[in-house]
Structure formats: C-alpha cells, structure tokens
C-alpha cells in the first residue's frame, strides 16, 4: 500500500511545523576533518537560529550527546541519540506526510550517500526508520534511492526536481524516468513532476534542486540566476528559466518566477573546486526564514537576496546565518534540516 492510497501527502515546507530535526556533524565523515570545530560552530548557529522560531531536535551520536546536552541550554533544543555516519539529514532523514485527518506518516527512502560517494553510509540509511520508530509515526518504506534535497513540493500536487540527479545512473539505474515519476506520485501524492535539467555548477549532489529553485507559494517559484555568460551557471540557470516559463503547475497555473541573483563564484582553496553557494538553500521556519549569507565579495548579493525574500514574505522574519561556516562540507541550511509538520503521532 502506498501513502496516496490513504490520502497522505507531503505538505509544502512553509506549512506550520511541529518541530525541526537536524543531525550533528561527524568528524570522521568530513571532507575536511581539520575544520570540525568551525563546522560545529556553524551548526550551532543554525540550531540556535531555528530555536528562535520553533522546537528543534538534534540527532547525536552517543559520544556527542552529553556534551551537546550541556552546550544547548535552550528548552526548545532537544538532543536525540541516533547513530549516524554523516550530518545531512535533509537527504537521509524521513520525508513527513500528513493525511486529511491530521495524522502523520513518514517515507523511509533508501540512501546511498549521493551515489556511493562517501563510505560508510550504513547508519545513515537506518536513521529515517529509527527516527520514525522513536516518534511512533507510521512508516512507508520506499524501495528506491531518494534524497530530500532533490525535490520540492508546493503542497498542491506539484513537484520540482532535476534530471541530473534523479536520472543519474548512480541512484536508480534500473528505473526509467516514467517509473521514478510514478513512484514519486505514489509516495508523496503529487500529480505533476516538473523536470529541470541540471543543478548548479560544482554541486557534488549531482544537481539537487534545493540549491537551484524552490516554491515560494503555489504558482510562484524562486529561481537563482546567473547573468554572466562566462560563468558555468549561466547556461544551466537560463535553460531552467526558459523551461519554467513554458510550464504550468498541477492546477494548470503558469508560474510567476522570482529571480534571485547568485553570489559571486568562490573556489575552495583546499580543493580548487567551486563551492556551491546558494541563497535558495534557505529554510522555512514558523514565522521566519533562515537564510545563509556569505559576506566578502557576496555582500551586495547577500543584501539583494534578503531584500527579495523580505518582499516575497513580508509576514516572515528573515534570520541570516553565516553560510560560509558549513559550505566547504558541501551543503547549507536546507541540506542540514528536515521539517516535521503539525499532526498527530501514534501508529
């Protein structure tokens, strides 16, 4: 039985949250373990910022739980011990659903560390199931690989994703595009899947959409754009813009597209690779938005991004955090978090 058979659906991220979940970093899994303290400070900033708006549970390994319990004194911050290999809960955590009766459920996707890029990932593949068991939330086991950062929904039947990620041979090589689309419809209760082409230049997730575009409301999409023809993101973002301009959502509405200017290109001095800086990797919280900003050469685009979001969401407080603190590990605020909508638990 699929979630759609019981009228479960994935709400839009801006729907009211019961709480947020986030995993604490693991030094052994990091690309740059020498930066562990800096990354932990970045995670602490994210956690404390979210706690200004709603409760948050920090998933910790047993060796970190006592220290974290002492370090976070806020009653809105809970420490939850679940063993894990890595810290990007958006991708290995459950996707929460709610039905017409207000009952919660969760999808337990298979996880293979972004196409087998980082070993081990055995504990990460168990996190969603263990969390749902702890919460006493009904679980639907999806027999294919999927990452939460690879799709967005509008809560009214439309899903946004990229071909680069979902059709990558390192995820579900045995499935066709049509089969993947049908599975997304069955597990998330969406009616239309919009396939963008590629994700941002240098994105090691193979093109997660949460760095590229997101719904601001039904019929309204925020899209990070590059206007420099010499930049690797120019063709990528302009192609996706043209695609969205021709598209409609599941309700037949053409999209209002709101552009956000990308920050200047920044290269990781340790690897020489491009860092995937994105303002679209923000996170909705109750009454606010947690927005990564990057400073330095990005000061102007930081200001423009905050201004745009303030205009699009005048009822929300835009809470900025230092996006450079965790970006060298490959992600940002949205990648670290997973929202649990308001609803009833109990299997």
* Within-domain flag for 340: no
* Within-domain flag for 206: yes
- What pLDDT is attached to residue 210? 98
Structural domain boundaries, residue 100: 3-335
User: What SS3 class is residue 236?
Assistant: helix
Of the candidates 272, 266, 196, the residue with the CA atom closest to the CA atom of residue 231: 266
- What pLDDT is attached to residue 347? 58
How far is CA 92 from each of CA 66, 243, 302, rounded to the nearest angstrom? 24, 29, 29
Of the candidates 322, 214, 323, 337, the residue with the CA atom closest to the CA atom of residue 286: 337
Of the candidates 205, 197, 326, 318, the residue with the CA atom closest to the CA atom of residue 260: 318
* Within-domain flag for 132: yes
Reported pTM: 0.97
CATH number, residue 284: 3.75.10.10
* Within-domain flag for 308: yes
Q: What is the CA radius of gyration of the chain?
A: 19
Q: Catalytic residue among 40, 165, 226, 335, which?
A: 335
* Within-domain flag for 331: yes
DSSP 34: G
- The total of structural domains in the chain comes to 1
CA distance 266 to 88: 22
* Within-domain flag for 346: no
* Within-domain flag for 343: no
Q: Is 335 a catalytic residue?
A: yes
Which residues are bridge partners to 20 per DSSP?
A: 56, 339
- Rounded mean pLDDT for each run of 10 residues along the chain, 347 residues in total: 96 98 95 92 97 98 91 92 97 98 97 96 98 97 98 98 98 98 98 98 96 98 97 97 98 98 93 94 98 97 98 98 92 97 85
- What pLDDT is attached to residue 208? 98
- What pLDDT is attached to residue 136? 96
pLDDT digits (tens, 9 = 90+) for 187-246: 999 999 999 999 999 999 999 999 999 999 999 999 999 999 999 999 999 999 999 999
* Within-domain flag for 344: no
């Amino acid at each position: 039985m699929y979630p759609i058979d019981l009228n479960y659906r994935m709400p839009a991220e801006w729907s009211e949250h019961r709480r947020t979940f986030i995993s604490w970093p693991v030094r052994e899994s990091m690309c740059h373990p020498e930066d562990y303290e800096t990354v932990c400070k970045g995670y602490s900033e994210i956690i404390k910022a979210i706690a200004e708006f709603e409760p948050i549970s920090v998933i910790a390994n047993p060796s970190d739980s006592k220290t974290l319990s002492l370090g976070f004194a806020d009653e809105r911050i809970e420490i939850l011990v679940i063993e894990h290999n890595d810290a990007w809960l958006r991708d290995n955590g459950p996707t929460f659903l709610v039905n017409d009766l207000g009952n919660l459920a969760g999808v337990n996707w298979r996880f293979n560390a972004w196409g087998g890029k980082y070993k081990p990932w055995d504990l990460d593949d168990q996190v969603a199931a263990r969390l749902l068991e702890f919460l006493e939330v009904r679980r639907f086991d999806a027999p294919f690989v999927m990452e939460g950062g690879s799709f967005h929904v509008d809560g009214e039947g439309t899903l946004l994703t990229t071909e680069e990620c979902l059709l990558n041979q390192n995820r579900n090589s045995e499935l066709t595009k049509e089969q993947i689309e049908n599975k997304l419809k069955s597990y998330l209760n969406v009616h239309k899947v919009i396939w963008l082409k590629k994700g941002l230049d240098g994105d090691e997730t193979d093109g997660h959409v949460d760095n590229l575009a997101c719904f601001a409301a039904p019929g309204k999409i925020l899209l990070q754009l590059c206007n420099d023809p010499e930049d690797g993101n120019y063709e990528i973002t302009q192609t996706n813009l043209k695609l969205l301009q021709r598209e409609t959502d599941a309700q037949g509405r053409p999209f209002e597209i709101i552009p956000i200017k990308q920050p200047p290109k920044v290269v990781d001095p340790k690897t020489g690779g491009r860092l995937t800086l994105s303002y679209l990797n923000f996170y909705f919280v109750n009454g606010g938005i947690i927005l990564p900003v990057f400073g330095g050469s990005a000061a102007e685009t930081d200001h423009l991004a905050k201004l745009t979001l303030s205009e699009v969401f005048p009822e929300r407080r835009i809470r900025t955090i230092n996006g450079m603190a965790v970006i060298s590990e490959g992600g940002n605020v949205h990648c670290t978090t997973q929202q649990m909508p308001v609803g009833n638990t109990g299997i």
